Structure 1
Amino acid sequence: METRRLQLLVELSRLGSMRAVAEATGTTTSTVSQQIAVLARETGAALIEPDGRRVRLTPAGRRLAEHAVTILGAVEAAHLDLAPGAEPNGTLRTAGFATAIRAHLLPLVSELATSHPRVHLLIREHEPDEALSLLITDDTDLALTYDYNLAPATFDPAVRASPLWTAPWGLGVAAHDTRGGGTTVEVFARFAAHDWIVNSRNTADETVIRTLASMAGFTPRITHRADNLDLVQGMITAGLGVGLLPAGIPTFPDVHLLPLTAPDVVLRAYAVARHGRLNWPPLALITDLLTERSTRPDAAGATAPGPTDD
């Protein structure tokens, strides 16, 4: 049912005549009559009946007018909730990788309980491709994703990616096998004969490894895959290979992190949302809070992926 017609019915129940409704709404008596007739056809019930030279609502008309008050109130509440300047209210579905959730999203839960108690976060842990797929199919409202400077992501035109933070990565090797410094290409060349460990749920780090290995003149032997960085470090400790690790986390005693420079290897995090949703108050609030957290001076230590994700 057209809400404009419901509004005319409510006015008719309040004012008692179509002429009075026309004057109150800035339209004509014939327009009011036509709209009420259309509403009667939509509901399949007679809404008005003659009352001398005037009309009055039938029992069905009075009942619909009661419903209309509730319906119009709900519509107005929805407009207020969705207006860009409205107080944030509602449940925000978020899908993202574990570090973004643990280091940035979870701290917001306690903050929101005090500052915006009507905003609730629904959180799902997913790697970037999974999170973006959920966003495109409208199964989540906000995707927290990442790529690497050497393996840039391509985003669907239907979404907008807002940069959050960056974090340098290095090459994790056995502690007894550091073999000096050098450029990234030189470091890779020294480990050309090793097995390489990559993420099991995302291909970005494998793309980085293959790109740098190609620059160093070899094809890497990809043997093991894991999306848990503790497990990756355990594999390195066991002598199963080498792999990329974030520079901002403590390493196992038997793991050494070689810096990668010239070119650097940098993880880049994003908050991704669909166009058309960007002004929804809960989404705008959480995106702003995540951006603010990412720019804090002490954010660097919290932004590198932790021991449960790549």
Structure 2
Amino acid sequence: MAESIFLTGATGFVGGAVLRRLVADNFSVTTALRADSQVVVGQVRTVMFESLETASWEKELLGIDVLVHCAARVHVMNDAETDPLAAFRKVNVQGTLNLALQAAESGVRRFVFVSSIKVNGEGTDSGKPYTAQDLPMPGDPYGVSKLEAEEGLRELAARTGMEVVIIRPVLVYGPGVKANFLNMMRWLDKGVPLPFGAIHNARSLVALDNLVDLIVTAITHPAAANQTFLVSDGEDLSTTQLLHRMAAALGKPARLLPVPSWMLSTAANMLGKRSLSQRLCGSLQVDIGKTRSLLQWTPPMAVDEALKVTAAHYLEHKKQ
């Protein structure tokens, strides 16, 4: 008999894909949605809530085997909050631990928490990837809030016996991706010349299907209990390589100008865009050796296949 799953964040980019996979795999799924939300995939039980940090879940969690927590206040580029850390803590720490405590009290066996690589930090030296065992060094309020949630979950697991699985994704891309990845596809599709033809960094990415596959693996795999896993596609790309391969997926030429990365970094810093410079020119690599060995898990989708699927969705839905 399939596990009974309680899923948060089902209207989000990752959570929505997790929901579709769980329904396809015939899990019994309950989704928790904000009062103004709707789910359009599958026939699933839905419970409504106003805020994660104050919601009462006792009745909804009875009979649930595994809780998959994708809901979060996500990282935003231009945060309007006067106290961003407090805003992140409210949802990502207080909301997560309120839900997790009630899950433990209701007899939920396992809590799968989608965290972030930002717990590890903002970047790596090339050839020195992050590992799940590294000392966390979050560099922004979002990363701090995710680390504090992880710490609270581990303490709760030790105290109650509920198993906790923590997954830290890198940048996730796939059909329906937004933000900078979507902008990159738009530039390439329009044939805009870009000054990124000589960037020799190395960045780990993860296709949406690969991340979802690991989350589903973490629901049932015995060895996942009380472990932290990093996840990526298993192939790191420079910004220049990513642009060339994304352009190929779009069926367009990549018009890349070989501007030295130091020049781009200098210009970005002068314009107050240091974080953008880090993402474009800096490295961020993860070692998924533990994920592979402990769970016998291999990313099911190769990078070029994932880029093609992402490009096809973009081309089908782009605004003319």
TM band (smaller chain): under 0.3
Structure with the bigger percentage of strand: 1
Larger RCO, structures 1/2 (Cα 8 Å, 6+ apart): 1
TM-score by length of 1: 0.26
Give the greater-gyration-radius structure (CA). Answer: 1
TM-score by length of 2: 0.26
